[in-house]
Structure 1
Amino acid sequence: MFLLSTTLALYYLGSLVNAQSSNENAISIAAIEAHFTGAGLVPSLLSSFDPSALITVTFPGVGAISPGQSLTKDRGTDPRNLLVPANSSVTLQGNYTLVMADADVVGADESVGQTRHWLVNGVTLTGSSPLNVSTTGGVAVTEYAGPAPPAGSGAHRYVILLLPQPSSFSPPANLSQPNVGVSVFHLTDYISTSHLGVPVAGMYFDVEQGTATATPSPTSPVVSSTLKPAASGSSSASSSASSSKSSSSNAAIRSGHSVLAIPVAVFSLLASYICL
């Protein structure tokens, strides 16, 4: 009886831990989505941003960055340990494109293009938990070049995106071979003409040199307790996915205390049997 009860309790506890982890992922995904909107990246750079996973970007001497974190120019070099936490509800396989672009300051005219600082095609996700974003076997069209905003131009937003490459993926000739230097391109045009999928994950950070000579447009701070469901997409599929994800996020917020309280009860049950 003791063995059966202990086994059931441990199984139940494991299920609760997995559910809590999924809820935390849903809230974190909703938060990064809100950060992109609050920073003006949506809709000025991307018409929409509906990620299905998270990406962790680590810089030497800084650690894992948070959305919109301010870095100095020298701290934004050589990103390492790009990781995607495992998510049982999302299948991540096949090849991806990894890109980093300078979206300039808040309120900038994105129609003039963005400076491409990193572009690798054929990126794979390896390992298990978390998944490692591996560029080893990919085509480094543009090798990583650290941020270098002009002095006095304000805080530039450097956006890192991970996009799936479907079987129809076909990059333009001028951006299909390695060793293409840093230059201006149109990110959304590249995504469209290459037939890339929508970003599955993204992150951004700010770098500024000197004192800004102009005041940028204001941004909206993200408060996790006030996250709203994402706006409906143009297709029913994207609308359904957004609704499902938002429901998961809201459910996680509503049930936060009860989810944490149940494992305590389970441990109490275990303790009572151990004492017998």
Structure 2
Amino acid sequence: MLFAAAFTLFTASLVNAQSSSSDTSLGIAAIEAHFSQSGIVPSLLSSFDPSGILNVSYNGVSLTPGQQLTKDQVASAPQITFTPANSTVTTTGTYTLVMADADIVGTDESLGQTRHWLVNGVTVGTGGTGASHIEFLFHFPPYSVSTSGGIPVTQYAGPAPAAGSGPHRYVILLLPQPSSFSPPANLTQPNVGVSVFHLTDYISTSNLGSPVGGFYLTVEEGTATVTPSSTSPVVTSTLQPSKAASSSAPASSGSSTPKTQTPNAALSAQLVSLPLAILASVVGFLVL
């Protein structure tokens, strides 16, 4: 009975791994395209090469990149998950989660961005505490991004653009904190109010790693009295799978050595490791 259950979970896990690999690759390519299309790259970030997908949802409703919402819809902090590009991308260590207002398309980002959320010491989890031995071993992404044990430098403050100022872009990034992480003195303690800062300066001076995931949404209040720079829509049907799915550096904050693995190799690694996981789970149950 126990072995049958383990085999069923093993089979389901393989199907899940195969179907999700392509979706993740295209999802990464999509967010890269959206960051370029919206002007976030290169106006705010000089480049953006994520190693996974950051999924953002408000009140249980998952968003699409650039989706326009009202102030009421984004009043409370969102739920965030991270899906690595492949099995070489680890999620150990701690991260910084930040949300900044990049204003409308065409904004001079050298003037700074309004900081709406900044949490250091964020972790990326692998399932709930109530999971059984087998369920835990067979847990697959997306993984929850947890701020509960972190330092809320700036508590979440919902977007509130000025009336008539146009559709503001609110950028959310997940960045690894290496051992050399050292934020500026004025942004180390909890409960620092919302204010303007330079996002890229903060990233570089704090020694944060490159974003492993990113997302943006838009919020507009009233009728715009300004005209944002023009953009062209992202045509998802023309996207090619992201290179991150075949060659990506670990998202772990403690490593700087890239690992390369093709999607098939990543799946092969899972094929090898999953039977061992089954054995370990069975042994665990027999011991208990």
TM-score interval, normalised by the smaller of the two chains: 0.7 to 0.9
How far residue 214 of structure 1 moved from its aligned partner, in angstroms, is: 1.4
Q: Residues 12 and 58 (structure 1 numbering): CA distance in 2 closer, same or farther, change over 3 Å?
A: closer
How far residue 85 of structure 1 moved from its aligned partner, in angstroms, is: 2.9
Question: 1:79, 1:66 → 2: CA distance?
Answer: 17
CA contact (8 A) 1:97 1:163 kept: yes
Query: Counterpart in 2 of 1:88?
Result: 87
How far residue 151 of structure 1 moved from its aligned partner, in angstroms, is: 0.5
Q: Residues 161 and 11 (structure 1 numbering): CA distance in 2 closer, same or farther, change over 3 Å?
A: closer
Q: Residues 182 and 138 (structure 1 numbering): CA distance in 2 closer, same or farther, change over 3 Å?
A: same
Residue 85 of structure 1 aligns to a residue whose secondary structure is strand
Q: Is residue 2:202 matched to residue 1:204?
A: no
Query: Counterpart in 2 of 1:50?
Result: 49
Q: Of residues 69, 72, 89 in structure 1, which corresponds to 2:70?
A: 72
The size of the alignment, in residue pairs, is 233
Q: Residues 164 and 108 (structure 1 numbering): CA distance in 2 closer, same or farther, change over 3 Å?
A: same
Residue 55 of structure 1 aligns to a residue whose secondary structure is strand
How far residue 77 of structure 1 moved from its aligned partner, in angstroms, is: 1.5
Question: 1:136, 1:229 → 2: CA distance?
Answer: 34
Question: 1:194, 1:207 → 2: CA distance?
Answer: 29
Question: 2:38, 2:236 → 1: CA distance?
Answer: 15
Q: Is residue 2:172 matched to residue 1:174?
A: no
CA contact (8 A) 1:58 1:79 kept: no
Normalised TM-score (structure 1): 0.77
Question: 1:224, 1:130 → 2: CA distance?
Answer: 21
Query: Counterpart in 2 of 1:22?
Result: 21
Question: 2:209, 2:33 → 1: CA distance?
Answer: 20
Query: Counterpart in 1 of 2:236?
Result: 224
Please tell me the residue identity of whatever aligns with 2:47: S
How far residue 58 of structure 1 moved from its aligned partner, in angstroms, is: 1.3
Question: 1:26, 1:79 → 2: CA distance?
Answer: 27
Unaligned ranges ≥5, structure 1: 1-7, 232-236, 249-276
Query: Counterpart in 1 of 2:122?
Result: 123
Q: Is residue 2:150 matched to residue 1:138?
A: yes
- Residue by residue over 1:182-231, the C-alpha shift from the partner in whole angstroms, topping out at 9 and shown as x without a partner, is 00000000000000000001111000011111111111211122225879
Query: Counterpart in 2 of 1:4?
Result: none
Question: 1:136, 1:228 → 2: CA distance?
Answer: 36
How far residue 173 of structure 1 moved from its aligned partner, in angstroms, is: 0.2
Query: Counterpart in 2 of 1:215?
Result: 227
How far residue 36 of structure 1 moved from its aligned partner, in angstroms, is: 0.6
CA contact (8 A) 2:28 2:242 kept: no
Residue 100 of structure 1 aligns to a residue whose secondary structure is strand
Tell which has more relative contact order, 1 or 2 (C-alpha 8 A, sep 6+).
2
Q: Is residue 2:108 matched to residue 1:109?
A: yes
Q: Is residue 2:58 matched to residue 1:59?
A: yes
Normalised TM-score (structure 2): 0.74
Q: Residues 109 and 84 (structure 1 numbering): CA distance in 2 closer, same or farther, change over 3 Å?
A: same
- Residue by residue over 1:49-108, the C-alpha shift from the partner in whole angstroms, topping out at 9 and shown as x without a partner, is 111111121112x71111000001111111232111354242111000000000000000
Q: Residues 229 and 110 (structure 1 numbering): CA distance in 2 closer, same or farther, change over 3 Å?
A: farther
Query: Counterpart in 1 of 2:173?
Result: 161
Please tell me the residue identity of whatever aligns with 1:147: P
| Structure of larger gyration radius | 1
Unaligned ranges ≥5, structure 2: 1-6, 128-140, 244-248, 250-257, 264-288
CA contact (8 A) 1:57 1:79 kept: no
Question: 1:230, 1:112 → 2: CA distance?
Answer: 32
Query: Counterpart in 1 of 2:138?
Result: none
The two structures, once aligned, show a CA RMSD in angstroms of: 2.9
Q: State percent identity of aligned pairs.
A: 63
